[in-house]
Structures are given as structure tokens and as C-alpha cells.
Amino acid sequence: MDYFHYSGDRLYCEEVALDRIAEAVGTPFYCYSERTLLRHLRAFQEAFRAVDHRICYSVKANSNLAILDALVRHGAGLDIVSGGELERAQRVGCPAERIVFSGVGKSAAEIRAALTHGVIMLNVESEAELYRVNAVAAGLGVRAPVALRINPDVNPRTHPHISTGLKRNKFGIPHGRAIALYTEASRLANVVVVGVDCHIGSQLTDLAPFIEALRRVRGLLSQLRAAGMDIRYLDVGGGLGIPYGEEDAPPSPAQLAEAILTELREEALTVILEPGRAIVGNAGVLVARVEYVKSGEEKQFIVTDAGMNDLLRPSLYNAYHGILPVVRRFDREEVTADVVGPICESGDFFARDRLLPGFQEGDLLVVRSAGAYGFSMSSNYNSRPRVAEVMVRGERFAIVRRRESVRQLLENEQLFPGEA
Ligand SMILES: *Cc1c(COP(=O)(O)O)cnc(C)c1O
């Protein structure tokens, strides 16, 4: 459910027409609906209200400060994966008791920063990281709260690039080695074991893998408790899928909650969730202008001013994104075409062989469901400045990240110093 809708023939984000924003800020740009964002957050909060819980939004899905600020002000915590994301969390005043630190390659500096600011826990992904956390904490004279991220070896049945809970994935500690490493952790002087963590993948459209993973983790939990460890947090990760196409019907946060809480009924725990995509994915669109309509020998191409550097998901995962006209025209015939960008790569596309309205040069279009892993994965490939980001709140909109300039892009570069 989102707040992008047609009124007459114009596409609106909440109460603002997208062509009006395009006129004001130019194209391409990302447009986010704050109301959609908060609606999704609330869906999680309500789904889990029967138990002690923290909704720690996964910052990497979309790390714009205005988005983080809106979520944190409405009670969300944050799941961070780098020192940069920690700074963002600090910038929006996210309380330490609402932050979890995930990630497979935390540097000593990042661990130090997290322990200095304070976090609920560090989700540790390897034996080597455990020893590093212990050493850094010792240097600071503190005890680091940790969870071990368990790789339960379940198949999330999603795209291989976004599955993380299989033996062959780099993430987490193999399920079979968990007890030994927890025992080791409980012996270290500068760590405190406080939780268990598990995140099996992204864009999951079926509850079965969540349940399977949870059952494995629950088995572990009782063993740890029997061994006298005080496990207070169970972090079940993120990963809930969203509808990208009309036929997609992923589980709702309420259905996810029911499945999780059924498994955890009698456990005295704080449940942590790390949703990213499910909060922000359908709260954002990418707005672009048609530069050219081109007839190839076999195909029609609609060339837009946005490219794979702005939204990588179709190129990277062959992901489906809906395409809509910003102004509907019923007098034009539909065509089957590819929507492509200006980048010098054949993988630079947003849609392939899609039945579309008859776009013409200068028309505006939106690429839907682009709020998650859109801007945050964008790059400057082909020396293209990154696009502007706009947030809508009711009848108002604001630029929440200015369009980059080419000058900013070249700022850090210099020629090799000459001899004379
Ligand atoms: C990316 C990630 C998430 C968020 O995943 P979504 O599919 O966007 O919900 C949560 N936890 C961890 C550890 C992640 O790496």
C-alpha cells in the first residue's frame, strides 16, 4: 500500500503532482512519500506490539538523513553496517539503545566507534571478529554486548545474490559451530553475550524459510540458556519482500509477526527486526524524462535520462520494476519496448519487452518501487552526478539531497605532480 496515485491524468505523490516537482527540481530524481514510509513502520510496530520489540530499520536500504529522521522520530531504531551509517544514526539522534551493528567486515575503528557511542549489540559474524571485538573493548576498558549471527543453512528461495543464510554464503557462523563459539565468547573478559542474530536474505516472499530458520535458532537458544547464558535479544533480521509486480503478494508484517510469535510464544526475549525494503521500497519512485524514442531493427527503445548508475537493481538482479507515465494520455497507442538509460552498457535497462503507453520525447515516467536499494546503490559511473532526492509530506515537498554537480564529482581528483 502506498500513496502514489493518479488524480485525473496526473500521477501524484500524496497531494503533490510529480510533474510539478519535476519542473522545480529537474530530472532525474527520487521521490519519497513520507506517509508511506511511516505507514509501513507502523505496520511493523503494531504487528509486534504484543511483545517487547525493537524495529531497527536497515539503513543501507535507503540512508537519506530525512528518511532516517522521520523513522527515528516515530520510534524506529536503526540497523547499521558501517562507521558511515553510525554517523548517520548519530546525526538524526538515534538513541544508542535502538541501534544494532551488523556486517561481515567490521574494522577495529568501526567497532571502537560503535562501542564509544553505545549500541544494543554488535552482531558478530566470525571467530576472528569476536576476538577483535574483545580486544577493542579491552582497549576502551568496557565490555562489548554481542550476539553471534547464525547461518542456519536454510534456502530463502530468493535471488542468489540476496540470499545470505546458506552454507555457501559468506555470512554468519555455521549453525553447527555456534555452541562452541558462544562458549568461547562467554569466557572472554571484555564481551557480554546478550543475543542471538539471524538474517537469511532479502525480498523473501514466503514465510516458510523464516520459520525454518527460527526453529533452528530456538533450539540453539535453549541450549545457551541451559548453559547459563543470559540471552535477552533475538534478532530475526530483515528480508520481508514487497510487491514489485501486480501479481506479487508477499506476506504482510502482521503475517510475519504471527509466524515469529507462534514460534517464540513462551520465550522471555526482546525481539529485534531489521526491515529495510519492506519499509522504504514502495515509498519511493525514480522520476525520469524520455530523451529519445528509438526504433531498432527488432525493438523499440525508450531512452531516459536516468540510467543503471541511478537504479542498479534491474541490471544487477534482473529485477522487475513497474513503469508508469507521469501524465496519462489515452489517445496514444501502446507499444512493446525496452526502457533503457544513457549508460554505455547493454545491461543498462529498467524494463525489457514491456507493453507500455506510447511515450514520446520529453515525457516524464516513473520507475516504481525504487525506494530501497535505489539511491543507496547508485554510483557516478559514466561521470554522472548522482540525482536529487525529494521527500513529500502531504501538500509539501522538499529536496532532501541536492543533485550532485560535476564539480563535486571531480573535487577529490588531481593530476600526478609534475617535475617542473
Ligand atoms: C540488508 C540487511 C537487512 C535488510 O534487509 P531487507 O531485505 O531490506 O529487509 C537486515 N539485516 C541485515 C543484516 C542486512 O544485511
11 with 357: CB under 8 angstroms?
no
**pLDDT category, 420, cuts 50, 70, 90?**
low
What does the H/E/C string look like for 183-205?
Answer: HHHHHCCCEEEEEEECCCECCEC
Torsion on CA atoms 73, 77, 82, 83, rounded to nearest 10: 50
| Residues 299 and 266 both lie in one domain | no
Strand residue runs (E) in 212-283: 233-235, 270-273
| Residues 237 and 123 both lie in one domain | yes
Domain count, the chain: 2
125 CB contacts (<8 Å, ≥6 apart)? 103, 104, 149, 171, 172, 173
Instruction: Pick the last residue of a domain from 273, 302, 337.
Output: 273
Residue 57 lies inside a defined structural domain of this protein: no
pLDDT tens for each residue of 133-146: 999 999 999 999 99
| Residues 315 and 220 both lie in one domain | no
Instruction: Pick the last residue of a domain from 253, 273, 293.
Output: 273
Distance separating alpha carbons of residues 315 and 319, to the nearest angstrom: 7
Nine-digit cell string for 253: 508484517
- Rounded to two decimals, what is the model's pTM? 0.96
- Distance (angstroms) between ligand 1 centre and the Cα of 276 equals 6
Instruction: Pick the last residue of a domain from 217, 248, 273.
Output: 273
Atom number in ligand 1 closest to CA 274: 10
Residue 230 lies inside a defined structural domain of this protein: yes
What pLDDT, on the 0 to 100 scale, is given for residue 297? 87
Residue 90 lies inside a defined structural domain of this protein: no
Pocket of ligand 1, candidates 63, 129, 202, 244: which has the most ligand atoms within 8 Å of its Cβ, to mutate?
Answer: 202
- Sheet containing strand 4-7, edge to edge, reads 4-7, 10-13, 16-17
DSSP tally for the chain: helices H, then strands E: 12, 21
* 401: pLDDT strictly greater than 80: yes
| Residues 170 and 135 both lie in one domain | yes
| Residues 287 and 355 both lie in one domain | yes
Residue 269 lies inside a defined structural domain of this protein: yes
327 secondary structure, DSSP code: B
Residue 320 lies inside a defined structural domain of this protein: yes
Q: Look up the domain containing 268 and give its range.
A: 103-273
Residue 141 lies inside a defined structural domain of this protein: yes
- Distance (angstroms) between ligand 1 centre and the Cα of 297 equals 42
The enclosing domain of 240 has a CATH number of: 3.20.20.10
DSSP string, 119-182: -SEEEE-SHHHHHHHHHHHHHHT--EEEEEEEE------S-GGGB-SSTTSS-SEEGGGHHHHH
Exposed e or buried b for every residue in 71-93, given b needs 16+ CB within 10 A? bbeeebbbbbbbbebbebbeebe
pLDDT tens for each residue of 182-226: 999 999 999 999 999 999 989 999 999 999 999 999 999 999 999
| Residues 312 and 381 both lie in one domain | yes
pLDDT tens for each residue of 67-90: 999 999 999 999 999 999 999 999
Residue 94 lies inside a defined structural domain of this protein: no
The enclosing domain of 25 has a CATH number of: 2.40.37.10
> Does residue 278 line the site of ligand 1, with CB under 6 A?
yes
**pLDDT category, 105, cuts 50, 70, 90?**
very high
- Alpha carbon separation from 350 to 154, 299, 341 (Å, rounded): 31, 15, 8
| Residues 245 and 294 both lie in one domain | no
| Residues 318 and 348 both lie in one domain | yes
Atom number in ligand 1 closest to CA 201: 7
**pLDDT category, 171, cuts 50, 70, 90?**
confident
| Residues 123 and 12 both lie in one domain | no
Three-state DSSP at 337 gives strand
Residue 382 lies inside a defined structural domain of this protein: yes
